[in-house]
Chains A and B, each alone.
Chain A
Amino acid sequence: MSALPLIAHERPEAVLAYRAGAPISARRFLSEARALADRLPAGAHVLNLCADRYRFTVGLAASLLRAKCSLLPPSYTPEVIRQLRCFAPDTFCLTDDAQCAVDLPRMLYRESEPCAEAAPDTSEWSVPRIDAAQSAAYVFTSGSTGAPLPHHKSWGRLVQSVRLEALRLAPIDRGGCAILGTVPAQHMYGFESTVLLPLQSAGALCAERAFFPADIAAGLQALPRPRALFTTPVHLRSLLAAEVALPQTDLIVSATAMLTANLAREVEDRYGAPLLEIYGSTETGQIAARRTALELEWRLWQGVRLERRDERCWAQGGHIEQLTPMADVIELKGEERFVLHGRTSDLVNIAGKRSSLAYLNFQLNAIPGVQDGAFFVREDEPASLAGVTRLAALVVAPSLDTPALLERLRERIDPVFLPRPLLRVQALPRNETGKLPQQLLRRLVAQAAAQAPDLFA
């Protein structure tokens, strides 16, 4: 069985990460990963919640060295944690937050001396190799029946995926590129592009997660060139809205939700850097990219193919483990190009977090006291400054007041999907087949808004 190196850095002094602008060498990283690997608990599954991206990466490397599999669920609500315990009862949580209250056995991880290259490390330089077939991660989607669906990621496929990604993202393909991310390492996009990509392209990750516009500017300023920003449409809009100046950046990458060509052009004009957009799914990982300001068509990673069967498009080849249906409406344009026409109707994407109406409805209706309830998309609502439109929900639950209902819901679903507004009704406008026409739902909301305008700002 083949084995692939944990990192692509060829020299011990190569920079693998930056924290507060200070470089951390590949040698130090490997020695910290080996030391942590010796201390990890016995369980074979790990929920790595380290918010610091460097610590997350040390945790991932230590887990790989001990053949432990990382779990990446879509959220950390008590209900999802309970489901993780059912999926893998030996799961433990690795965290860098002493206040972490996740209901799993927890191990607190903080390096003894962060940042500093302490005493000269004289350990022998050798890069560990990990069996390509080893289970590196399970990434979960929310599914439609209430239980998260696991998607298996072997080490070999993950490595292949980000090596194919690097080929498309100059200057990352040349190695030594510093990468700043606004997405957490625990999200599939952040996991691939801000953790695995720097490891496998001999680049450098940035320990801090940039969040506010001023963080992005300062974070990039602290990194040497070539430097790249991996972000989302929400953060790009917030950068433009805040009118923040960025230092010269060599590449900007966006994913999680579709960019418009207008936004892409505005970003390229303002910051003078090419903006590449990545397309993928939790099931397949990333599979294609495009220069959104200049082209409509996406180009697949080398070796990946899309094929139309029944109504859907299926992906295979390259790093994809098995033939996988895509949840988007896709128009094929030859062997390696396609146009994306949006998502199928049940799927929702709020600020880059994905779920399905079926899943959200299941969770709402599983709350004791809820007789009927449904989420829906408010297309009439104007987007906010950062361009985010929230979901709304109608619910029949005479015995629960609204704060109690929201509290129960918060235990089950990611807060980004909490309804705004949550409307109390006597009955849902179901048609004869039990379906809820979206038009009727919107009319009900309009009526409620007319009756209580102060609830609708």
Chain B
Amino acid sequence: MEQAIPKPTTTSADALELEIAQLIVQGLNLPMSAAQIDPEAPLYGEGLGLDSIDILEIALIVSKQYGIVLRADNQENERIFRSLRLFSQYVAAHRTK
């Protein structure tokens, strides 16, 4: 079950965005490459088509990788899952590692 997750080495927003896309594609076994994720498309429902179990998986991935703790009662949730870009910005602002 332990998956190989590359160490974070990013410095710019674009690189972080691509790194998160890679983690998501790898962690969720998505049938696409990281570069194929539209950074502006919704992550949840239409768009990338993720469901609530995926969101739980993503929570585990970003907690392991960046020390981000997601909470269901966070008012920002709707906004941050609106796109890879917004999610990536949230990670950049709240990461502890």
User: B60 contacts A386, CB within 8 Å?
Assistant: yes
Closest A residue by C-beta to B34? A457
Closest B residue by C-beta to A378? B29
B-side interface mostly: loop
User: B26 contacts A457, CB within 8 Å?
Assistant: yes
List chain B residues, Cβ under 8 A from A455.
31-33
Closest A residue by C-beta to B32? A455
B69 close to chain A: CB less than 8 A? yes
Q: Which of B30, B64, B69, B73 contacts A457 (CB 8 A)?
A: B30
User: A212 contacts B70, CB within 8 Å?
Assistant: yes
State A235–B53 Cα separation when bound (angstroms).
Answer: 9
For chain A, the bracket of interface size reads: 35 or more
Interface positions, chain B 1-59, Cβ under 8 Å from A, are 1, 3, 25-33, 45-46, 49, 51-53, 56-57, 59
List chain B residues, Cβ under 8 A from A410.
46, 49
Q: Which of B31, B56, B60 contacts A422 (CB 8 A)?
A: B31
B63 close to chain A: CB less than 8 A? yes
User: A454 contacts B33, CB within 8 Å?
Assistant: yes
A336: min CB distance to chain B, Å: 34
B97 close to chain A: CB less than 8 A? no
State A390–B64 Cα separation when bound (angstroms).
Answer: 23
User: A384 contacts B27, CB within 8 Å?
Assistant: yes
List chain A residues, Cβ under 8 A from B61.
385
A142: min CB distance to chain B, Å: 16
List chain B residues, Cβ under 8 A from A422.
31
Q: Which of A212, A382, A385 contacts B71 (CB 8 A)?
A: A212
B60: min CB distance to chain A, Å: 5
A238 close to chain B: CB less than 8 A? yes
User: A420 contacts B30, CB within 8 Å?
Assistant: yes
A-B contact pairs, 23 of them (CB 8 A): A208-B72, A208-B73, A210-B72, A211-B52, A212-B59, A212-B72, A213-B60, A213-B63, A214-B70, A215-B71, A215-B73, A234-B53, A238-B56, A238-B57, A238-B59, A241-B60, A242-B63, A381-B29, A420-B29, A420-B30, A457-B25, A457-B30, A457-B31
1/0 per position for A84-96, CB-CB distance to B under 8 A? 0000000000000
State A238–B45 Cα separation when bound (angstroms).
Answer: 21
State A418–B49 Cα separation when bound (angstroms).
Answer: 9
Closest B residue by C-beta to A351? B53
Given contacts A238-B56, A241-B60, A415-B45, contact A384 B28 (CB under 8 A): yes
Given contacts A215-B72, A218-B71, A415-B45, contact A388 B31 (CB under 8 A): no
Closest A residue by C-beta to B24? A457
9 closest residue pairs by CB, A with B: A421-B31, A415-B51, A211-B72, A454-B33, A351-B53, A455-B31, A385-B60, A215-B72, A214-B69
Closest A residue by C-beta to B52? A211
List chain B residues, Cβ under 8 A from A384.
27-29, 57
State A416–B56 Cα separation when bound (angstroms).
Answer: 13
Interface positions, chain A 109-164, Cβ under 8 Å from B, are none
Across chains A and B, the number of contacting residue pairs, with CB separation under 8 Å, is 91
For chain B, the bracket of interface size reads: 20 to 34
User: B53 contacts A388, CB within 8 Å?
Assistant: yes
Q: Which of B46, B56, B57 contacts A211 (CB 8 A)?
A: B56
List chain B residues, Cβ under 8 A from A218.
71
State A337–B72 Cα separation when bound (angstroms).
Answer: 39
List chain B residues, Cβ under 8 A from A303.
none
Closest B residue by C-beta to A352? B53
A63: min CB distance to chain B, Å: 26
A209 close to chain B: CB less than 8 A? yes
List chain A residues, Cβ under 8 A from B31.
420-422, 455-457
A86: min CB distance to chain B, Å: 25
Given contacts A214-B71, A406-B49, A410-B49, contact A390 B59 (CB under 8 A): no
List chain B residues, Cβ under 8 A from A432.
none
A378: min CB distance to chain B, Å: 9
A383 close to chain B: CB less than 8 A? yes
A387 close to chain B: CB less than 8 A? yes
A295 close to chain B: CB less than 8 A? no
User: B1 contacts A415, CB within 8 Å?
Assistant: no
> A386-B56, A455-B32 given. 18 additional CB < 8 A pairs?
A208-B72, A211-B52, A212-B71, A213-B60, A214-B71, A234-B53, A234-B56, A238-B56, A241-B64, A384-B28, A385-B27, A386-B60, A390-B29, A410-B46, A415-B49, A415-B51, A457-B30, A457-B33
State A350–B57 Cα separation when bound (angstroms).
Answer: 14
User: B33 contacts A388, CB within 8 Å?
Assistant: no
A311 close to chain B: CB less than 8 A? no
List chain B residues, Cβ under 8 A from A212.
56, 59, 69-72
